[in-house]
Amino acid sequence: MRYFILLIAFVFLNSCASPTQSITSPDGKVRVRIDLNKGGLHYAIDFQGKPVVLPSALGFKFAEQPDLLGPFTLQKAERRTKDETWQPVWDFDSKIRNHFNELRLILQEKLEPRRHFNVTFRVYNDGVGFRYEFPKQDAMDTVNIISEETQFHLPGGMAWWIPGSYESYEFLYRHTPLAKIDSANTPVTIELKTGPVISIHEAALYDYAGMTLTHAARDTALFKSKLVPWPDGIKVKTKAPFKTPWRVVMIGARAGDLMESHLIQNLNEPNKIKDTSWIHPVKYVGIWWGMHIGKWTWYYGPKHGATTERTRRYIDFASKHHLDGVLVEGWNKGWETWLKGENVQDYLTPYPDFDLNFLAKYARDKGVYLIGHHETGGNVPAYEAQMDAAFALYERLGIPAVKTGYAGRMHPKGMHHHGQWMVHHYQKVVEVAARHHIMIDAHEPIKDTGISRTWPNFLAREGARGMEYNAWSDGNPPEHTLILPFTRFLSGPMDYTPGIFNLKFDPTGKHRVYTTLAKQLAYYVTLYSPFQMAADLIQNYEHQPAFKFIEDVPVNWDETRVLKAKIGDYLTVARRNGKNWYVGSTTDELARHWKIALDFLKPGQSYKAIIFTDAINTDWVNNPTAIEIGMYKATADDSLCVMLSPSGGQAVEFIAVPENKVKTLQAISRFNQAQKAKIKPFATVKVYGQK
Ligand code: NOJ
Ligand code: CA
């Protein structure tokens, strides 16, 4: 009898796998369970035994086909493990480990039309990715997705989120209980009440609509995917075979773990560009802030910003200060039409006061280059018609990077910035640019989903409320840049455009930048981007000792460690470039101080530490530009005191130097005696306010 039961079980297992499956991360801490018993297909995730995602349904609704919600048969469960280390062309770490356990579920509907599909789960130490794949099959040809029924049933917690707009990510973050989110754009970051910190996002978004999250049931923590529609309401128009982007749950024991994670890139394909010698990180100035503060105009006229003379001065400045490039906005004809209905620009013809050929060569002769600009204003067909020629022009002139923009209402009408049609367009731009050896920085983009692993010429994007909002809106409050690293930046680098020195630029007092100067410097470490601007007017950098930090700070890193972090409150990040380390600390509206052990420095190595920090009398409201700059000797045995004014910061360079050289270092600290007693950057001295 027992033999008979065993035999039956054997036959059953052979024809279909067990309807419950489970898989863990390589370190065993993250576990995914899949369950087909409840009719449909459900998954659940836990981390160190604590629930992260409660049982949540998977499925689809289609326009011309029956819903795909179950019941399903699990025909086969395939497992594999991968452990590789890859080297990005640029990043905040120079070696990235891609280590996961994979479970691929081969599924079929139990009932007619008995469609086939697969769901693949990849479980990493820092989170989970899963995607649907539809093979070619008779029962499915043309596919119009009405709704992707992917659920995220969360155990409750506090979320950092922006609204689920189809056009823009340029909002201030909200911090509410999960149940108060009605719709959100990803990444949405959540401090779960069970302990872990998670972020929900997507990876490898190609030929599909962007995913927002919406409530599946009001006032609960049950969310589902809501895709951005076409004008006719269909979300995705495709054909089998096809696969969806990865749905991703990043998981960390602490907030800093999310910042250190490469999960989103790991879920993308390896680099497709064979020769990457023309791709490199960029530090730049530009004809830009002047337009935002109303001093200059993009369009031709008496206040025109992009004149030959001004651009020449910017090139001279970039060359003198060892920067890579000069962004020029407003050089081409057509800006009169921007934000005035239909944007019609000519991306090939300069305004009469801008000598493009001369300036491109002048820059090259000075060892720098121009950075091009294409503002589509949302008129994508007009841009696509000129795109190839416009990139070819830049390539011919030795202009290796282009900032693109989509500020304005989408044309054709009814299309959305984050829909499938635009996802396809943004991808076309990066591929055409790659053919012309051009790097891209997209403003008003589709969110990053890690595709720069595959297309490393896509250096950076905006896709959040950047510095420009301080120029003309009610501004970015002090905590904004303490939220971005744990939300927007989890998707990839952001062109935030830091480095405003003239923080109270507006004589009327209506607008300003809500930080201290030292915090602006710290951004070069805390806000990672391989396309990093020194955003102020160059005249505000002249004769400013603090500009040395911007000159020195690298835009590419070998290693990154988040040393201290609380979302929305404070942050210290250390990044290594070669032998040198750079440390940036920032705080929200509260003055704070803490100590950082320098044990990440190489033992036995001496460093010259150059510290740029809020002074004792720095006050972001009335005295934001007061900054202390000091030079000290440091080793791994020291600790660093971080003393920050409200909305303040500290930026430190640790330059590896031979021991004998350090001994002769003169302290060039301009701390006065009173400050010296209170602030000593190294903790060998008792720190003011510390118990
Ligand atoms: C919005 C972009 O974010 C900004 O950087 C740019 O200057 C304007 N659009 C004009 O293109
Ligand atoms: Ca913008």
Q: What is the pLDDT of residues 103-134, one digit of tens each?
A: 999 999 999 999 999 999 999 999 999 999 99
> How many residues does this entry show for the chain?
691
Mutate to test the pocket of ligand 1, among 338, 375, 467 (most ligand atoms within 8 A of CB): 375
Q: Determine if the peptide bond prior to 241 is cis (ω within 30°).
A: yes
Active site residues: 468
Q: What is the pLDDT of residues 481-494, one digit of tens each?
A: 999 999 999 999 99
Neighbours of ion ligand 2 (CB under 5 A): 443
Please tell me the number of the ligand nearest to residue 441's CA: 1
- Report the 10 Å Cβ neighbour count for 102: 15
Residue 410's contacts (CB-CB under 8 Å, 6 or more residues apart) are 167, 378, 380, 416, 417, 422
Q: Reply yes or no on whether the pLDDT at 677 is more than 90.
A: no
Distances (CA, A) of 81 to 84, 102, 103, 124, 508: 10, 6, 9, 10, 61
Note whether 62 and 242 are within 8 A (CB): no
| Res 1: pLDDT | 43
Residue 451 is classified by DSSP as G
Q: Reply yes or no on whether the pLDDT at 664 is more than 50.
A: no
β-pair partners for 517: none
Buried b (16+ CB within 10 A) or exposed e, 244-269: bbbbbbbbbeebbbbbbbbbbbbbbe
Q: What's the gap in Å between 636 CA and the centre of ligand 2?
A: 41
Residues of the chain with CATH 2.70.98.10: 2-266
Q: How many CA atoms lie within 13 A of 641 on its CB side?
A: 20
Q: What is the pLDDT of residues 27-77, one digit of tens each?
A: 999 999 999 998 899 999 999 999 999 999 999 999 999 999 999 999 999
Q: Which CATH architecture has domain 481-490+503-529+549-691?
A: Alpha-Beta Barrel (3.20)
| Res 15: pLDDT | 54
Distances (CA, A) of 496 to 254, 524, 677: 24, 10, 36
Q: What's the gap in Å between 604 CA and the centre of ligand 2?
A: 46
- Report the 10 Å Cβ neighbour count for 48: 15
| Res 662: pLDDT | 56
Residues of the chain with CATH 3.20.20.70: 481-490+503-529+549-691
- The arithmetic mean of pLDDT across residues 165-192, rounded, is 97
Q: What is the pLDDT of residues 465-479, one digit of tens each?
A: 999 999 999 999 999
The residues lining ligand 1, judged by C-beta closer than 6 Å to any ligand atom, are 288, 329, 375, 405, 407, 443, 462, 468
Q: What is the pLDDT of residues 238-292, one digit of tens each?
A: 999 999 999 999 999 999 999 999 999 999 999 999 999 999 999 999 999 999 9
The CATH class for the domain spanning 2-266 reads mainly beta
Please tell me the number of the ligand nearest to residue 405's CA: 1
Q: What's the gap in Å between 495 CA and the centre of ligand 2?
A: 10
- Report the 10 Å Cβ neighbour count for 11: 9
- The arithmetic mean of pLDDT across residues 169-195, rounded, is 97
> For atom 7 of ligand 1, which residue has the closest CA?
288
Q: What's the gap in Å between 206 CA and the centre of ligand 1?
A: 25
